Amino acid sequence: MASVKEMRNRIAAVKSTQKITKAMQMVAAAKLRRAQNAAQDSRPYAQRMAAVIANLAAGVSGDGAPKLLVGTGSDQRHLVVVATSDRGLAGGFNSSIVRAARQHIDGLLAAGKDVRIITAGRKARDQLRRLHATRLVETYEVGANPSLRAAEAVSAKVQEMFEGGDVDVVTLFFSQFKSVVTQTPTARQLIPAEVAAGATPIDLKGASYEYEPDEATILADLLPRNITTQIFSAMLENQAGFFAAQMTAMDNATRNAGDMISALTLQMNRARQAQITKELIEIISGAEAI
């Protein structure tokens, strides 16, 4: 059994850890509201863009349709974009995104597809390069606060690979923020652009519109912006989910530290009582021997 002094040192160390986890919990809670508002504010723009693309796509078909909308006609070469956070200490937040992406990648490889990977976030890079280092094309860091510039860099690389004929299908993995306790790993196909079935249609009020320039020209300009928008929205969703997961994880760690302190304190008191009892027995035995 450890001595009383050693147990006091352990209790002091756990108390110091508890202070750190409590501080991290409070910081995450303070940042969560701002990140949550940013994620929620980005959704209407992304949804409206999806509605516009759905409306324009209805009038485009054949050889004149942009490749970003209809694809290359093949699905042999896949690019998987995995977006996580740069930091950890958030429970299984990052691991759940990477796990969903890894299952998708494994399924594609089992089907004989060619797979390449781009990561946006250090945690995705660190976890995926253990098994798929040879398939990593590019890695990006998100930073403390996701920015449109970071999303544009990822989007530019994705479009460069698609236009260069290196990939046929592009899928984005991220965590969609639902609530403080729920963050759902989500896959979203970027190329060919998915025309959302649930997108709110534009109410033309019976009017017939003619586009100038034509639908294909508008889509050729709008679809690259949509890729950037989807990536940026995913980064904002990840940011909100990360702080929610970190707040929950640090709250659990603080509670566990409190339980450990109570258990160690009880153990220390028992050890101290046993030491006092032993010393009393030695004193009494010595007195009786005299």
Who has greater pLDDT, 286 or 254? 254
* pLDDT at 198 exceeding the cut of 70: no
Lowest-confidence segment of 45-49, 121-125, 231-235 by average pLDDT: 45-49
Asked if the model's pLDDT at residue 217 lies above 80, the reply is no
Between helix 93-110 and helix 122-132 the angle, nearest 10°, is 30
Count the alpha carbons within 13 Å of 127 in the hemisphere toward its beta carbon: 24
- Beta-carbon contacts of 104 under 8 Å, excluding residues fewer than 6 positions away, are 80, 171, 173, 187
**Residue 156 near residue 130, CB atoms below 8 Å:** no
Give the integer Cα–Cα distance in Å for 238 and 184.
Answer: 10
Q: Which of 62-76, 215-229, 231-245 has the weakest average pLDDT?
A: 62-76
Q: Which CATH class is domain 32-245?
A: alpha beta
What percentage of the chain reaches a pLDDT higher than 90?
Answer: 46
**Model confidence at 204, in pLDDT bands (50, 70, 90)?**
low
**Winning range, highest mean pLDDT, from 54-58, 152-156, 222-226:** 152-156
What are the pLDDT digits (tens) for 57-85? 766 666 667 778 877 888 899 999 999 99
Amino acid at 74: S
SS3 for 184? Answer: strand
> Which tens digits make up the pLDDT trace of 131-153?
898 999 999 998 888 888 999 99
**Parallel/antiparallel/unpaired status of strands 169-177 and 136-140:** unpaired
Distance of CA 286 to the CA centre of its chain: 68
Q: Calculate the average pLDDT of the chain.
A: 86
Contacts of 193 (CB under 8 A, 6+ apart): 53, 57, 68, 69, 223, 226
- Token reading at 65: 């349709």
| Residue-level pLDDT at 197 | 54
> Checking DSSP bridges between strand 183-191 and strand 169-177, what pairing results, if any?
antiparallel
Q: Is 263 strand, coil or helix?
A: helix
pLDDT at residue 71 in the model: 79
Domain locations along the chain: 4-22+249-289, 32-245
pLDDT band (50, 70, 90) for residue 267: confident
**Fold match between 4-22+249-289 and 32-245?**
no
Average pLDDT over residues 194-215: 62
Question: 78-125 pLDDT, tens per residue?
Answer: 999 999 998 888 888 999 999 999 999 999 999 999 999 999 999 999
pLDDT band at 239 (very low <50, low <70, confident <90, very high): very high
Of the two residues 53 and 215, the one the predictor is more confident about is 53
Q: What mean pLDDT do residues 207-226 have? A: 75
4-22+249-289: in CATH 1.10.287.80: yes
Q: What ranges in the chain are assigned the alpha helix state H? A: 4-57, 67-70, 93-110, 122-132, 148-163, 215-289
Say how far apart CA 183 and CA 242 lie, in whole Å.
9
Task: Output 11 or 290, whichever has higher pLDDT.
Answer: 11
Confirm if 73 and 230 have CB atoms less than 8 A apart. no
pLDDT band at 256 (very low <50, low <70, confident <90, very high): very high
d(CA 54, CA 61): 13
Cα four-point dihedral sign 133, 142, 233, 213? negative
Rg (CA), the chain: 28
CA distance linking residue 18 with residue 240, whole number of Å:
24
Q: pTM for the complete prediction?
A: 0.82
Distance CA 134, CA 131 (A): 8
User: What span, in angstroms and rounded, lies between the C-alpha atoms of 42 and 151?
Assistant: 13
